[in-house]
Structure 1
């Protein structure tokens, strides 16, 4: 395609043109979405696919459609309305101030401009002139990465309030024949379970209604593939998620012409929103990447976008840590905790993390049924306070971090006794608990102040505090806000206002403490989205740390998230050897949840060397391009690799996943990817267990061409269950 160099600011006003002449290209290097007005001023999506070479032919695209029946003329609406002649799933549904349920949006104008983060922003204004109701469609495109962020802003100038009954972020239309959808169902300790299906006539919906820990049962991540099932290196795919930390809903509708309509946004369940005159309602963003060369290219581009433009400190460093949770659970005191600092020092990690159980006095936090909400140090466990622990950790040459769960409360707490109106609960019904706790009402500004104050006090009292693990274990039951009731705000605002309240708190935290690393935890993968990643440096994918299960989970997460944000800990959840557990955890942000001083001599020697090896290659894992080489769902082992920008270094991970007896799982060599075919490379096996020898000849060199077209066999078998290979350029 003759590249559209792009006009810095382009504005088109409908009154000055024939309506059908308005064509709006939303483009990246490798994809083009064409929007065009119809004769009656409605805006339609007329093309989505590889770039067209001749801009002069854009106007010909819409003429190729041959929809015959009346309603099919609205199938490809760019933002489908309800209440007029549309009979398919709408993107927006409203109750006008006079009680009318109709909405008819027509094109008014659009602008396109370069932004300061290397992107292009297109804004399209649609309006219902009869009801003084307008919607702005936003498309932000990172051209080189083929990433699109899409959202809407809704407002009106009627004399009374309008009720928004549905308000999607995006309404996409794909013409074609066969569409396949990959989604990821979840449960506690079984996050990111892959489901792939061919979409057939009718509607497929994916949603969650849990409020806070919204992704406990259903991930917001999705892959749409065209014509065939999603493949790593071939085919057209759209891959992404809704950047929203609460209830979402996706609708995939195959219409009567076998085209796909995709509508994504906040779940309208119990969330009708009363929009006042002059108020603007902004929907969350749908973030997606397009590739015509498979999921591998798509995920690498999304990773790079995330590191460069969305994740807090995405191109920075992360801290390896030792966590006390599985070593002590709630049963600890000051001496036991400080004794574990020596374990952290011995392992060679950066930080010690004190987990749950350090707070509350009237109702001590000795189990998960008391104390949550009372954020003062427990005087019996920690008579000298958190500051003393920070000081003692510093003496050992390590940093100190702490666990909090500030959005929650136990009924057995002083906070619950003193501020019952801060708790989300139905006053006339029995309380329903999740992990013996309830959710605080972050729609209430006082509660926002309280939650911010928890973080602020920790850093005020202990300025050297270096890390926070922010947990969120409960979903919302019995949704009711005493604050909204008192302010005469509809209860249907609760899920939305709660989430906005959380973002307000995090804005304040980051304004005052911009650099401190904060882990996003939610009983495992209950949270993990590109809105919260503006404020968090990493997330906890699952409480299931069994390394075999983590191979699959981390494989599935890798489509959507760069490894720098994925916390991977070594624990005692499995009987598999320590080497296997450490090797699996090394393809993310490494951490330990073990009693290190109870390791055997060989295990401790191995762990220390593995941490040193990790420190040497972690930059490649965190910031390099990732290539999935051998799919564990189709083979007896998994293999993937990371390659740095100048293709001089790479790390290749190989893991056995079928533990039935076999001579070898890796019958064929593994073909590498992402290297320079003209460069020479040497291989070295890392994390070799004490007393074992590697079969890899580290003196031998190979061309990148050989490694990518023939490959290396890692000899994965029951005696050699995990192999990490370092690849270095030889000059």
Structure 2
């Protein structure tokens, strides 16, 4: 830490000398986080320019001439900026232009390894200020950037654009990887070379906003992204609502990265004395490819961004595939017995446990919003059924969707004005449901009441799956004033975070999975309040390989829920082996499985709990062979002390990848290789099974791979000899 501070002081002194020699420069300063550095210049015109963003080892010289406006760090609209603006406002007097001048900056250490710089900008003609926040996590070369807008004009200022950050990158080539898709094919990697002009990646969905694209990207400089080499920036927006990423390659081949909330339909009327805060964008930098960038995101998240990162995620059995909404207490007890027999640690009761009378939740058309337990299905109540699970030494969890309502419900009949919709328009349903308007105080109180009344009287419920199954199609609020209708997109999500925060703090011992019809809400804004997320309703192991591969670029394995199901009717072994690489669970009717299948699952649960889970929960990820480049997908987790590793092989197509080079091992240690997750009586086909190799041999020569047929899979464990 002392060395880092000394280096920063030296660089600041050096920059001060450069500034004194240059007539265009008022001030030079840097913000550095490990290998990532931002270099700033305050010009004689008082504007804040960015001279560099990237490699901290790269020296940045101040320009001989004044920089062009394309290098302004947070360019405002309307007073000479020709590129995409980051900030656009209409002042109270109708002036649509904004000018931002540097007024100062300060840096403070928050905790060991974390420091924060605040840069203050002000319009010289108006009491209108912007503060840029840059939080640095030095150990992970991570920067978290956001800004606040305030004003003291006599009336409302209208904000039209409000990017969280807008740094500029300079390289010969820019290669962008996005993570797109749709329901059941989430987080699909798509890479392209950026050309001159503006490339937009966005969501306009408001809620469940990430169904078609997650708010994360990778930018590779000077060539396509590689796993273990090359310069990359990886970024993820901490926002669950609509977002926009604009990649603006200008006429000088500079690339500006504008990231933040989607401004479409979201203009914001900021009251005098009010503060508008943007969500934060996270950036990490790697000179060793996207593999190291991913590990930096994982380390950062484990330390700063997910709940109870040190706790093991339980092996759970979900009833959805077994029963859907059709169950009673006796059926659930049968499933509890099955959970106990295979060694599952928790039973998750999914949709269908609530609603009564004509609004009984017997399908997805009824009952949503009426959260009293079903007298027909659970006559003795939630406490009774939770205790029945505990009698069998199985924990109990429950499904909630507090943000939604069916028209066929008591709640809707009483409060039709609580939904998000437009006046004079026929309501558009999604999955037979509407969205409750969280900008409305009564709805905020109601949704907290759902959570509180479900969990507080039932302390044996120790797990929640929080779902959200539709997006906004008619963005209107009967609560918001006519002039403030565009606030809905933004205020909804801040209200949602307040509700999630209250839930996490109010029930600290309740674990929680984030779900939104699959991964429609996967970001580090929401993940701060959850332990894991549901990547996709596609649990076919063949589809899940690429889905989990995509999410692994930003999210650690202990957050990625992976369940064994019979979707796709693949080999059970492959379904198990794919699930063993994440937060393992089961989602099938165990009482309808054969004795052989139940034994196979029980063996997998035992293997996971005893040998694999510590590596998945706390190990470092190494992606070894990409399913986008080979018929084989292979990845591994290596313990932080490099004593153990688990390696996965998944054959997605026919064909052979002859050898797989491992990563992250200690070159000098000797590792014994053992294939696990084998059916009883089946011998390993891996030539390395039972043999000992040095880490160097495994990383340089690799493991010989005998798999060559689609749907084959294997799991190997490596243990260093002491």
Please point out which of 439, 452, 471 is paired with 1:443. Answer: 439
The residue matched to 2:111 in structure 1 has which SS? coil
Q: What pairs with 1:115-514 in structure 2 (closer than 5 Å)?
A: 115-116=110-111, 118-362=113-357, 363-485=359-481, 490-514=484-508
Displacement of 1:720 after TM fit?
Answer: 7.8
Other structure's SS at 2:479 match? helix
Structure 1 residue 2 displacement after superposition: 8.0
What does the per-residue CA deviation read over 1:236-255, in whole Å, with 9 as the maximum and x for residues that have no partner? Answer: 11112111010000100100
Shift of 1:297: 0.5
Shift of 1:599: 2.1
Q: Which moved more, 1:100-109 or 1:688-697?
A: 688-697
2:56 aligned to which of 51, 56, 64: 51
- For 1:594, which of 568, 572, 588 is the aligned residue? 588
RMSD: 2.1
**d(CA) in 2 for partners of 1:217 and 1:670?**
33
Which residue of structure 2 lines up, in the alignment, with residue 648 of structure 1? 643
Greater alpha carbon shift after TM alignment, 418-427 vs 562-571:
418-427
Does structure 2 retain, via aligned residues, the 8 Å contact 1:250–1:265?
A: yes
Secondary structure of the 1:158 match is coil
Residues in 1 aligned to 2:530 and 2:494: alpha-carbon distance in whole angstroms = 16
Question: Which runs of 5 or more structure 1 residues have no equivalent in the other structure?
Answer: 68-72
State the SS of the aligned residue for 2:260: strand
The CA distance in 2 between the partners of 1:257 and 1:495, in whole Å, is: 35
1:30-58 deviations in Å (ceiling 9; x for gaps): 122201112201111101232247xxx75
- Tell me if the contact between 2:649 and 2:714 (Cα under 8 Å) persists in the aligned partners: yes
Q: Does the 8 Å contact 1:214/1:247 carry over to 2? A: yes
**Alpha-carbon distance in 1 for matches of 2:440, 2:297:** 35
- Whole-Å Cα distance in 2 between the matches of residues 305 and 228 of structure 1? 26
After superposition, residues 683-702 of structure 1 pair within 5 angstroms as 683-696=673-686, 699-702=690-693
Residue number in structure 1 paired with 2:43: 38
1:680 maps to which residue? 670
Question: 1:708 maps to what in 2?
Answer: 699
* Secondary structure of the corresponding residue to residue 75 of structure 1: helix
Residues 681-724 of structure 1: CA deviation (Å, up to 9, x unaligned): 10111100123112456542111111111111231133881110
Name whichever of 165-174 and 593-602 sits farther off: 593-602
* CA–CA distance in structure 2, aligned partners of residues 175 and 252 of structure 1: 13
1:564 aligns with 2:554: no
Q: Deviations over 1:558-577 (max 9, x none)?
A: 10100010011111112211
Contact 2:570 2:711 (C-alpha < 8 Å) held by counterparts: no
**Alignment of 1:108 onto 2:98:** no
Normalising by structure 2, report the TM-score: 0.96
Please tell me whether the aligned partners of residues 47 and 61 of structure 1 are also in contact (alpha carbons under 8 angstroms).
Answer: no
Q: Does 1:639 align with 2:634?
A: yes
Tell me, in whole angstroms, the C-alpha distance in 1 between the residues paired with 2:483 and 2:198: 33
Tell me which residue corresponds to 1:70. none
* Counterpart secondary structure, 2:704: coil
Superposition deviation, residue 3 in structure 1: 4.2
Deviation at 1:132, TM superposition (A): 1.1
The answer to whether the 8 Å contact 1:20/1:41 transfers is no
Per the alignment, residue 34 of structure 2 pairs with 29
Aligned residue for 1:299, secondary structure, equals helix
1:61 — aligned with what? 62
Moved more, 29-38 or 719-728: 719-728
Which residue pairs with 2:575 in the alignment? 581
Displacement after TM superposition at 1:489 (Å):
6.0
Once the two structures are superposed, residues 252-290 of structure 1 have per-residue CA deviations (whole angstroms, 9 ceiling, x without a partner) of: 010001110110011011110011111111100001211
Alpha-carbon contact 2:132-2:145 (below 8 Å) kept: yes
Shift in CA distance, 117/497, structure 1 to aligned 2, threshold 3 Å: farther
TM-score, structure 1 length as denominator? 0.94
Give, in whole Å, the separation in 2 of the partners of 1:719 and 1:88: 49
1:670 aligned residue: 660
Residues 499 and 62 of structure 1: CA distance in aligned 2, closer, same or farther (over 3 Å): same
Contact 1:193 1:553 in 2 (8 A): yes
Task: Report the CA distance between 1:307 and its aligned residue.
Answer: 0.6
Q: Rate the CA distance shift 1:383–1:507 in 2: closer, same or farther, 3 A.
A: same
Give, in whole Å, the separation in 2 of the partners of 1:96 and 1:720.
62
Between stretches 19-28 and 547-556, larger displacement belongs to 19-28
- How far 1:387 sits from its partner (Å)? 1.0
How far, CA to CA, are the matches of 1:418 and 1:326 in structure 2?
A: 33
Going from structure 1 to structure 2, the CA distance change for 1:670 and 1:361 (only over 3 Å counts) comes to same
Does the CA-based 8 Å contact 1:177-1:259 persist in structure 2?
Answer: no
Q: How far is 1:515 from its partner? A: 2.8
2:708 aligns with one of 689, 713, 717:
717
How big is the shift at 1:219? 1.6
Structure 2 CA distance, aligned partners of 1:298 and 1:611? 31
SS in 1 for 2:602: helix
8 Å Cα contact 2:580-2:612 kept in structure 1: no
Task: Write the distance in 1 (CA, Å) between the matches of 2:558 and 2:9.
Answer: 36
Contact 1:373 1:414 (C-alpha < 8 Å) held by counterparts: yes
> Partner of 2:524 in structure 1?
530
